[in-house]
Amino acid sequence: MTQRNVYLENHSWGFAEEFKGYAKDVNVATDNFTNYGSGATGGFRDFTSYDGRVNVPNLGFILYDSDANSHKLSFSSYTEEANAGAEAFTSYGKNDNAVLSQFNSYSNDANNIRSDFMSYGVSGNAANDSFKGYGDSRNTPHNNFKTYGVGANSGIDKFTSYLDGANSGDDTFQSYTSHAHSDEVNFANYGKTFNPVNDTFKEYGRGSFSDPTIGFKTYGSNPNFIDYHKKGVTFNEYIADEISPASSPTLFVGS
């Protein structure tokens, strides 16, 4: 069992930090990053092959990189082939300016992992977040995005090949990019799962001060859209031809 608690690495300038092969092949890993990197300017942080093949990972990022400026964050091959644990990002990147966050090959081939993104990127400006190859071939994933990007300005979020080939599970996006200004969100090849995953988008983009640009292209089966922003949302190749038995999406259009 490994347990790490990291606190208060504040107001750094132009630094570079890399976590490679960290906590790999251990049984129970508990890692907490609390108020880490707040107020950072420039530089980058890179998590590569972090917690790979761990049984029962428990990871927490709380107030991580808040109030940062022109900073880059990268998570690559993160918790791959991990089993039965939880990952939480709480108030991550709050009040950031022009921060680039990349999640590549995140939690692929993992089993029964729960990921929570709570108040992620709230009130940020010109953020650029990308999720590429997130949760591919994952078994029973549970992903929860709640109040993600609320009140943000001119942000860009991209989900590419998200949960491709995953089995069962559920995704919830609640109050995602609500009350935001000029946000752009793109979902491409999202949810082309081996077995249906239950996706729920609730109050998505609701209350935005200008019409957001939200695109769904080649989107998988069993989605539910409840009370989402009715302007600026486009659906292309919705319900991929490759998926069966894909049912029609449930759409409850809101404001």
**Annotated domain spans of the chain:** 1-120, 140-255
Averaging pLDDT over each range in 19-33, 140-154, 202-216, 234-248, which range is the top one? 140-154
SS3 94: coil
Residue 9 predicted with pLDDT over 60: no
Say if residues 229 and 202 touch (Cβ distance below 8 Å): no
d(CA 122, CA 96): 8
Q: Choose between 11 and 153: higher pLDDT.
A: 153
Band of residue 97 on the pLDDT scale cut at 50, 70, 90:
very high
For 119, the token pair is: 């108040």
Band of residue 168 on the pLDDT scale cut at 50, 70, 90:
confident
Mean pLDDT confidence for 143-164: 85
Q: Among 205, 195, 197, 185, which residue's Cα sits nearest to residue 223? A: 197
Classify residue 169 by its DSSP letter: -
Band of residue 125 on the pLDDT scale cut at 50, 70, 90:
very high
Q: In what order do the strands lie in the sheet with 100-106?
A: 16-20, 44-48, 72-78, 100-106, 128-132, 156-162, 184-190, 213-219, 233-238
pLDDT at 4: 52
d(CA 170, CA 83): 17
pLDDT at 153: 92
Burial class (CB within 10 angstroms; exposed 0-12, middle 13-18, buried 19+) of 248: exposed
Mean pLDDT confidence for 205-227: 73
Say if residues 64 and 93 touch (Cβ distance below 8 Å): yes
Mean pLDDT confidence for 192-212: 76
Residues 19-68: pLDDT tens digits? 787 777 889 888 888 887 788 888 888 888 878 889 988 988 888 888 88
**What share of the chain has pLDDT > 90, as a percent?**
3
pTM of the model: 0.81
Per the prediction, the chain carries an average pLDDT of 78
- pLDDT-wise least confident of 77-81, 102-106, 171-175, 188-192: 188-192
Distances from the Cα of 11 to the Cα of 14, 15, 46, 93, 121, angstroms? 10, 10, 18, 14, 18
Mean pLDDT confidence for 147-157: 87
pLDDT at 245: 38
pLDDT at 253: 45
Distances from the Cα of 37 to the Cα of 41, 158, 165, 205, angstroms? 9, 24, 35, 29
